[in-house]
Amino acid sequence: MNLRKTFITAAGATMLLASTALADSNTTTLDQQGNDNTNITDQSGSQNDSLINQLGNNNSNDSSQAGDLNTYFVEQIGNGNSATVDQSITANDTTNFQSGNNNTANASQSGIQNENDVTQLTDSNTVNVTQVGGENFSIITQDTGNGNTATVSQDGTLNNSDLEQHGSGNTANLSQEGLKNDILAESNGNDNTNNVSQLGGDFNFSNTIQNGDLHTVNLTQDGFTNFSDALQNGFGSTYNGNQTGSNNISNVVQNPGAGAPL
């Protein structure tokens, strides 16, 4: 009997069992009902959880979890929807709910305890979310109209972003760096543009509401504890704001009078 060969075989079996036990700590649950749906799931960390439901045709999901304790849930009800997620480090959470056709939701989380929630209920909407840092929160709702686009970037800690797009052809670009910054943004109408950047500071707050069509907001906050509240009604208003420093306060109301109907 070759004792050396027996020892090597036993050691290899032990390593294989250990590797299998580690892989078994990840969970993937998949339900596909329809035609030509695709799913790619790559889990290389520990205690990750993925739940994928695809009800329709030509939907696709591509997810990667390379850290630990990450959670991902996607539900696609319709046709031609696409979702991707890349989660690394620890305890990140993403939820994508797509009920419509040809929607796209992409998420990248490379920090700790970031949360991203996306709801798309119509057609041809696009969301791109990037979260770097810890305990950032993003929620995006696209629930009426078609062809809305949202891009959210969070690089810091405890930043919050809440975006709602109700209408068609609305565009939002929201960016946060620092600590405990807050963005609330809402577009009720068509072809509105909402660009808000909170850069290099902490405890900044922005609230923008657009009621009507063809409004534009360009706001930059670079400092500490700045406050901006903007309301646009009617048709075709533009707000360009820049708050640099600390403790600045801005309240803007634009009512241009007669405008296009919502």
250: left (phi over 0), alpha (psi -120 to 50) or beta: beta
Establish if 222 belongs to a structural domain. Answer: yes
Collapsed DSSP state (helix, strand, coil) of residue 156: strand
Residue 230 sits at φ, ψ, to 5 deg, of -125, 135
Cα(146)–Cα(169) distance, integer angstroms: 7
Question: Within a 10 A sphere around the Cβ of 233, how many other Cβ atoms?
Answer: 19
Collapsed DSSP state (helix, strand, coil) of residue 140: strand
Establish if 13 belongs to a structural domain. Answer: no
Establish if 179 belongs to a structural domain. Answer: yes
DSSP string computed for 191-226: S-EEEEEEEEEES-EEEEEEEEES-EEEEEEEEES-
Cα(41)–Cα(167) distance, integer angstroms: 33
For the chain of 262 residues, list the mean pLDDT of each consecutive stretch of 10: 32 32 76 98 96 98 96 98 97 98 98 98 98 97 97 98 98 98 98 96 97 98 97 98 98 76 36
Q: What burial letters (b/e) apply to 38-61, b meaning 16+ CB within 10 Å?
A: ebebebebbbbbbebbbbbebbbb
Establish if 101 belongs to a structural domain. Answer: yes
Establish if 4 belongs to a structural domain. Answer: no
Say how many domains are in the chain: 1
Domain limits at 100? 27-254
Question: Within a 10 A sphere around the Cβ of 240, how many other Cβ atoms?
Answer: 10
Between CA 239 and CA 65, with CA 185 as vertex, the angle to 5 degrees is 130
Q: Please report the pLDDT score of residue 19 as a whole number.
A: 33
* Full-model pTM: 0.89
Q: Please report the pLDDT score of residue 256 as a whole number.
A: 81
Which residues, including other chains, have CB under 8 Å from residue 97's CB and lie 6 or more apart? 74, 75, 118, 119, 120
Establish if 15 belongs to a structural domain. Answer: no
Q: Please report the pLDDT score of residue 24 as a whole number.
A: 57
Size (the chain), residues: 262
Establish if 155 belongs to a structural domain. Answer: yes
Establish if 114 belongs to a structural domain. Answer: yes
